[in-house]
Chain A
Amino acid sequence: MTARVAPANSPPLGLVAPFLLLAPIGLIAAGMLIATAGDDTFAAINAPHTVAITHALVLGWVTTLMMGALYQLGAAVIGGRLLSEPLARAQLVLHVCAVALFTWAVEGWRTDVMPIAGSLVILSFALFAANLAHALLTSANASLPRLGAGLGISWLAVTGGIGLTYALAVSQAWFPITLGRLAAHAHAGLAGWLGLTLMGVSFQLVPMFNVAKAKPRHGTAILYGTAAAVAIFALAIAFDPPWPVRVALALLLAAGPSAASFEIVRLMRARSKRRLDIQGRGTFVSVSFFAATVVLGLLAAIGEPVAPGGEPARVLLAYGIVGIGGWMGCAMIGNSFKILPFLLWYHRYRPRVGIAPVPVVGDIYSETVATIALASHAFSVVWLAVAALAGSMVGLHAGGVLLALSAAVHCTGLAHTLLPKTSSRDVPSRTPVVQ
C-alpha cells in the first residue's frame, strides 16, 4: 500500500525549501544550549535548561524539518491538495518565532511568558494540521504515508494540548508536573507525532530511493498498533506507576517501531541499488540508534536501581539524546539530502531534460558533505549519550559544541544544493538507447 505520486500537486520549491533550511538552526541552538548546560542537568530531567534543549531539538529542528517534508509529501506523494500555500509560508514564520520565544521562556522559567509562547506554538501546529489534513482528506489514495501522517498529526494535536496545559499548570500552579506526566507528553510527541509520521513516510521513501521492489508486509497493523500503544502508554505512565509496570509499558511502546525497523531493514536488503547513498546510510544509522533507544528506554523505565551514580536523569538524558538525535535525527538528515535535491531537480531542471544536459540529483548535493554531516551528527549523539551516562559535564559541553558544528555542516550542505549546478556526466539528448 504505497502511494501513487501526484507531481501536478507538488508545492513550489519556495514553500518547502525554507522549512528544510531553517530546521538545522534549531539543532545549532540545541547544541549551544547543551554546551552551556548547568550542574543541575544530571540531577533532574525536568530542569528548565534541559526542557529548553528538548524543545529546541524537537520543535526547532525535527518538527520544522518534518513539517516541510510533509508539505511536499502530502501533496506530491500522498496525492492531496494543500489548503493554502500562503498559509504554509505564514505558518513557518509563526513557527520559528513561536519556538524561539517558547525555548527562551522555558530556559529562563519565565512562567508568565510560557503560556503565551505555548499558545503561539499551538497556533502554528493548528495551521500546519489544517493544511496537511486538507491534503490527506483530498487524496484519493489509501497509503501508508497518508495513514502515518494522519495518525502523526492527531498525536501532534494531543501533544500540543498536553504541553499547553502543562505550561498553564506551571503558570497558574494548577497541579505538579510529575515525571510520569512529563513522560506522557514527551512520548506522545516522540512516538506519536514523530514516530508514526517517520514510519509511515519511510515505508514509501525507503523502497523508492533505494529501488526495492519489496513492499511493507504489516505496515497498516504496525501504524495502528503503535498509535494504540502510545495512547495506553501515555495514559498509564501519567500516573507514575512502579517500575515493573513502566517496563511493561516501555516494551509495549517499543513493539511497533521495532516491527517497523525490521520492515525497513527487510526493504533495504531487497534493494537493487546496492551502493548506499546518504538516504540509505541515514536509514541504517537511524535503525541502529533506535535499537539503542530501546535499551536505554528500558533502563530508564527501571529507573534508580540501574541508574549510574544513582542519578536516573543521566539515563533519561541519554535516552532522549539517542531517541531524538539518533533515531529521528539521522533519518531526517538522510532524507533531507534526498528530498531537497530531488525537489530542486524537479522544479529547476526537469523541463530541460532531453533538450540540454542537466545535472542528476547526485550532482545537486555533495555526497561528501552529506556524509560528513551524517557521520559528525551520529558521532555527536554517541558522544553526548556516553557523556550523559558517565555524568561528565565537560563531555556534555564538548558534545554540545560538536552537535552545533555538525548541524552547521548539515545546514551548509543543504544551502549548497540551491546553487546552480551543471551536469557532471554527459547525458546527451540522443544516445542512451541500448538497441
Chain B
Amino acid sequence: MSQQQLDNRGLQPPEPMVRILAALASLENGSELAVLMDREPFLLYPELERRGFEWDFVEQAEDFLLTIRHAS
C-alpha cells in the first residue's frame, strides 16, 4: 500500500481540512494519506464520511497522526 504524507502542523482551522480534502481528491484506491496534525480535526470527520473515506487517529508524543483511506 502506498502512502502519501501531509504535514498540517502550525496551521489554523480550517486550513488543515482544506489541504486534506484537496489531497484526497487525488488519492487512489489502495493508497492512504498520513497527516501530521496539531489537534484532532473533529470538523473534518463528517466530510470524510460524506465523501466515502475511513480513518484512524493516533496521539503521538508531540502531535497527532491521522491516516485516511477509501472506505472498504
B18 within 8 A of A: yes
A6 within 8 A of B: yes
B24 within 8 A of A: yes
Bound Cα distance A406, B11 (Å): 30
Bound Cα distance A353, B22 (Å): 6
Which residues of the partner chain A approach B33 to less than 8 Å between Cβ atoms? 433
Secondary structure class of chain A's binding surface, majority of residues: loop
B42 touches A6 (CB 8 A): yes
B22 touches A272 (CB 8 A): no
* Residue of B18, B25, B43 touching A358 (CB-CB under 8 A): B18
Could you mark each residue 51-82 of chain A with 1 if its beta carbon is under 8 Å from any beta carbon of chain B, else 0?
00000000000000000000000000000000
Interface size on B, as a range, is: 20 to 34
A419 within 8 A of B: no
Bound Cα distance A354, B39 (Å): 21
Which of A209-217, A286-294, A316-324 forms contacts with chain B? A209-217
A429 touches B26 (CB 8 A): yes
A354 touches B24 (CB 8 A): yes
Cβ distance B44 to chain A, nearest Cβ, rounded Å = 9
B15 within 8 A of A: yes
Which residues of the partner chain A approach B12 to less than 8 Å between Cβ atoms? 208-211, 273, 277, 361
Q: Taking A272-B9, A435-B4 as contacts, is the C-beta distance between A354 and B21 under 8 angstroms?
A: yes
Bound Cα distance A346, B18 (Å): 11
Most chain B CB inside 10 Å of its own CB: which residue of A211, A433, A435: A433
Interface size on A, as a range, is: 20 to 34
Bound Cα distance A346, B26 (Å): 22
Which single residue of chain A is at the shortest CB-CB distance from B18? Answer: A353
Q: Taking A7-B46, A8-B46, A434-B6 as contacts, is the C-beta distance between A429 and B25 under 8 angstroms?
A: yes
A5 within 8 A of B: yes
A179 within 8 A of B: no
Q: Taking A345-B14, A346-B14, A350-B47 as contacts, is the C-beta distance between A431 and B22 under 8 angstroms?
A: yes
Which residues of the partner chain B approach A358 to less than 8 Å between Cβ atoms? 18
B25 touches A430 (CB 8 A): yes
A-B contact pairs, 28 of them (CB 8 A): A4-B40, A7-B43, A208-B13, A208-B39, A209-B13, A211-B11, A272-B9, A272-B10, A342-B13, A342-B14, A350-B14, A350-B17, A353-B18, A353-B22, A354-B22, A354-B51, A360-B14, A360-B15, A427-B18, A427-B19, A429-B22, A431-B22, A432-B19, A432-B22, A433-B23, A433-B26, A434-B5, A434-B6
- A residues adjacent to B (C-beta < 8 A): 4-8, 208-211, 213, 272-273, 277, 342, 345-346, 350-351, 353-355, 358, 360-361, 427-435
